[in-house]
Structure 1
Amino acid sequence: MKYLEEFQNPELARRLLEDIRATVTRPWALMEVCGGQTHTIIRHGIDQLLPEGLELIHGPGCPVCVTPLEVIDKALEIASRPDVIFCSFGDMLRVPGSDRDLFRVRSEGGDVRVVYSPLDALKIARQNPERQVVFFGIGFETTAPPNAMTVYQARKHGIRNFSLLVSHVRVPPAIEAIMQSPDCRVQGFLAAGHVCSVMGTGEYPELAERFRVPIVVTGFEPLDILEGIRRTVRQLERGEHMVDNAYRRAVRDEGNAAARAMLDDVFETTDRAWRGIGVIPQSGWRLSERYREFDAEHRFQVGSITTCEPAACRSGEVLQGLLKPDQCEAFGTVCTPRTPLGATMVSSEGACAAYYLYRRLGAPAAPAAAMEASPVA
């Protein structure tokens, strides 16, 4: 199948690894800013195959994981109301709020529905004009355009019983916040290809220059990751810090003009809280003034809800790359996918979920042994 088998070829992976080993002369720390990339890395043991001293740090790239606790609690409050049909993607239903999750709300009688597109929620609103229908709009630049389009369609067709609970975040301000942290060890970034397919690469050169870090846009298959690492390490070894698009089969430097126009029309940038991290200035979107009537937070007056993160959950440190999931005392014991303390254990893109799924049952294999086992096959 095109773009699957050829990007998981073990022989090509070995060649890339040999090139990386031949290039590296000193320790380097790279961060991938995408939960999908994290799962590829852990599933295929890519981090274990790299030369000693070359470390991959898992960043805040999981959209479910960075949705703040207070937004989850706002969702729970809205979903509990008898006149509301609350729609969400399935991976949000198990994310814990302060005292329950959306599954619990549904078991208690709330009308919580799993949908596969925000347009499904808009269809439900058409079919139920006597009910308020809310879609939980989370995620990075990748999921924002279809959510913007849905609000645009609701306004265009006069569907006034639809609204969006918005928790969209943006990658470039997160990179800036990571680099400004006094605990930062990151020396290069693997940027998420799907985000750049929407937004392009225009915001990254200034970050690369200001913080003197290479930023390589890459995809999600094993060979994509290895090629991204190879290009990043080459820049580091040469003392370079540029933006490099290694995912040109999907990413144009200018991004998707139609999607960006829709985002500019429907949303405006705002300060946004990230779960376990805190508020990052201008790191999110909210509905612009002309679409404010479709803002569920405004419609249901839940803006005053604030919460505190549970002390037992160290997901904030995981999301900042300060802690590997299996270094957390609660990992695999108190915190499991059935009894999660935080979203990083629940989400299909969470780093804790990746470690639990692929590394829980045994110690990591030595790189040589892992190579013989061809984990990238």
Structure 2
Amino acid sequence: MKHVTEFRDPALARNLLGEIARLADQIGATRDKPTRIMEICGGHTHAIFRFGLDKLVHEGIEFIHGPGCPVCVLPMARVDECIEIAERPGVIFTTFGDAMRVPGTRGSLIQAKARGCDIRMVYSPLDALEIARRNPDREVVFFGLGFETTTPSTAFAIQAAAREGLGNFSVFCNHITVPEPLRALLNDPHMQLDGFVGPGHVSMVIGTHPYDFIAEEFGKPIAVAGFEPLDLLHSVAMVLRQIAEGRAEVENQYARVVPEHGNPASLAAIADVYERRPSFEWRGLGEIDASGLRIRPAYAAFDAEEKFGVGYATERRHVPEPEGCACGAVMTGRIKPTACPQYGLGCTPETPLGALMVSSEGACAAYWQYGGARLAAQ
């Protein structure tokens, strides 16, 4: 447990909390006029609430929960298209587990499975590839979903299928990128942010330079962070220190894992297999230019959109949010989950209306798991 406990040391945590308080006082952060720091990654949101960091930091620090969960930002139309593919005769539809319960207008994938579709949970696209090898008479589709963290593994699976000539394997590509929605948020005049805690796992793949525009164009500090309590407290202190010193830079708190220029093998696979879409719809943010990836024509044989004529290969359709659902406002930091009129009433973990309550990294799920259920009842 050495490499866990050393990042949860109470004495070091108290020192960092003292440094955060000193810096917050220096920059004039108060409860009435807080310094607003957005944690981009949903994993960070859960860590903040799991360890009670939002209660421990200086009262002038406010955490804003960003769109850091790829399941949460998936528009309902894409879930409908997954079900449309899964209903085709002879199809085995494979997906990560956290996407199984995300609702579309025709229910979720797990409900489609209950209706008779052959939908299987896998832990990796390589599992889906193996299912295709074992079922040569069936079409096996993998739901390619996630930020840059999971994008390389899907690319490796497509490359392997191409080498083997595995014609019954394809990917419904919904991979999206982190920097573009951050630019959209920063361009939103209603978003008042003072700094960012940058995503650790995404940065492990892409490095730190894709965030340069945040500091250079918008003058906001960002510290890429790990996921343990001391990581997050340290990153908050780094952001506050930049503000206090009048700086705006990209700093790397998670240097033990995140290389400056990313992972070369992963970046090469991404460049080989994917190209940018002109735009992609994000739940709560709308269409964002160049924020989605699609499979290159060289690998079109493994593109489920082309093979089954769904998604962006057809006329786009927009599906509105369920009435009263405020997922978009929560994901963009405009309101807290408990301010959603459906939170704890029409939307609970047992009967979720929105993806933020379903996903293991959703902000609403974090609030509910770590005390939000009590807040909703008050």
Give the TM-score, by structure 1 length.
0.94
Provide the rounded CA distance (Å) in 2 between the counterparts of 1:35 and 1:85.
29
Matched residue, 2:23: 23
Matched residue, 1:107: 114
Corresponding position: 1:226 with 2:237: no
Provide the rounded CA distance (Å) in 2 between the counterparts of 1:362 and 1:346.
18
Provide the rounded CA distance (Å) in 2 between the counterparts of 1:194 and 1:361.
29
Runs of 4+ more than 3 Å apart: 361-364
Matched residue, 2:294: 286
Between 1:314-323 and 1:269-278, the stretch displaced more is 269-278
Could you tell me whether the CA contact under 8 Å between 1:74 and 1:305 is conserved in 2? no
What secondary structure is seen at the aligned counterpart in 2 of 1:212? coil
Match of 2:250 among 230, 243, 250: 243
Matched residue, 2:328: 316
Matched residue, 1:153: 160
Q: Which amino acid aligns with 1:323?
A: I
Could you tell me whether the CA contact under 8 Å between 1:86 and 1:113 is conserved in 2? yes
Matched residue, 1:122: 129
Corresponding position: 1:339 with 2:347: no
Alignment of 1:137-216 (within 5 A): 137-216=144-223
Matched residue, 1:2: 2
Could you tell me whether the CA contact under 8 Å between 1:276 and 1:309 is conserved in 2? no
Could you tell me whether the CA contact under 8 Å between 1:29 and 1:188 is conserved in 2? yes
What secondary structure is seen at the aligned counterpart in 2 of 1:326? helix
Matched residue, 1:82: 89
What secondary structure is seen at the aligned counterpart in 2 of 1:65? coil
Summarize deviations over 1:139-190 as a string: whole Å, max 9, x none.
1000000000000111110001100011111111111011001111111011
User: What's the C-alpha RMSD, in Å, of the aligned pairs?
Assistant: 1.3
Provide the rounded CA distance (Å) in 1 between the counterparts of 2:325 and 2:172.
25
Q: Which amino acid aligns with 1:133?
A: V
Aligned residues: 364
- CA positional deviation for 1:206: 2.5
Could you tell me whether the CA contact under 8 Å between 1:287 and 1:295 is conserved in 2? yes
Matched residue, 1:367: none
Provide the rounded CA distance (Å) in 2 between the counterparts of 1:361 and 1:346.
15
User: Which structure would you say has the larger RCO, counting Cα contacts within 8 Å and 6 or more residues apart?
Assistant: 1
Matched residue, 1:370: none
Provide the rounded CA distance (Å) in 2 between the counterparts of 1:141 and 1:190.
17
Sequence identity percentage: 48
- CA positional deviation for 1:363: 5.1
Matched residue, 1:373: none
Q: Which amino acid aligns with 2:343?
A: F
- CA positional deviation for 1:99: 2.4
Give the TM-score, by structure 2 length.
0.94
Matched residue, 1:358: 370
Matched residue, 1:306: 317
Provide the rounded CA distance (Å) in 2 between the counterparts of 1:340 and 1:241.
39
Provide the rounded CA distance (Å) in 1 between the counterparts of 2:261 and 2:80.
37
Provide the rounded CA distance (Å) in 1 between the counterparts of 2:139 and 2:151.
21
What secondary structure is seen at the aligned counterpart in 2 of 1:240? coil
Matched residue, 1:368: none
Could you tell me whether the CA contact under 8 Å between 2:221 and 2:248 is conserved in 1? yes
